[in-house]
Amino acid sequence: MVEPQPPVAPHPDIALLAPLLGVWRGHGHGEYPTISPFDYSEEVEFGHVGRPFLTYRQRTRHAEDGRGLHAETGYLRCPAPGRVEWILAHPTGITEIGEGTATIEDGVLTLNFDSTHIGCSGTAKPVTAVGRSLTIVGDTLEYGVRMAAVGEPLTHHLSAVLKRA
């Protein structure tokens, strides 16, 4: 039998991101010029293993019928004070690297990312840019996603409010 291990403290390089740790659940709304608007439920988990990165897992389901809509997995890093990188893989054949800033002011953690690299498999829809913004206030995480894809310019795509589970 394997003995349970004590919790591992986050690496000092990612201490700024500690408010993200845990499971978040809530609801969001999606829209884009090429699709019909939709509502969804979401679960996000940020974890760590004691190294200088957070792990990230995200899943969404359609609000009305519960069918799976999207998933992402990846890592969040702080390569320098106030700088963040988000490395993501999507099951739709897209990879995304976003770089940006992280600040805490009056207890509010704000992260802003713009894509620096987007990879697309041969069958993926053409995505050329993604921007993400997250705000964490206590046990509430709010985010917005902007996307440039299928010939559209960088445009609002998703927004959600999640609560710490």
The CA-atom distances, in angstroms, between 138 and each of 44, 107, 152, 161 are: 16, 8, 35, 13
- Residue 6: which residues within 8 A CB-CB, separation 6 or more? none
- Residue 66: which residues within 8 A CB-CB, separation 6 or more? none
Determine contact, residues 52/13, Cβ cutoff 8 Å: yes
Closest CA to 91 of 116, 115, 64, 58: 58
Residue 125 labeled ligand binder: yes
Residue with tokens 């700088």, as numbered in its chain: 83
Residue 103 labeled ligand binder: no
Residue 163 labeled ligand binder: no
Point out the annotated binding site for heme b: 34, 125, 157
Q: Which residues are annotated as a binding site?
A: 34, 125, 157
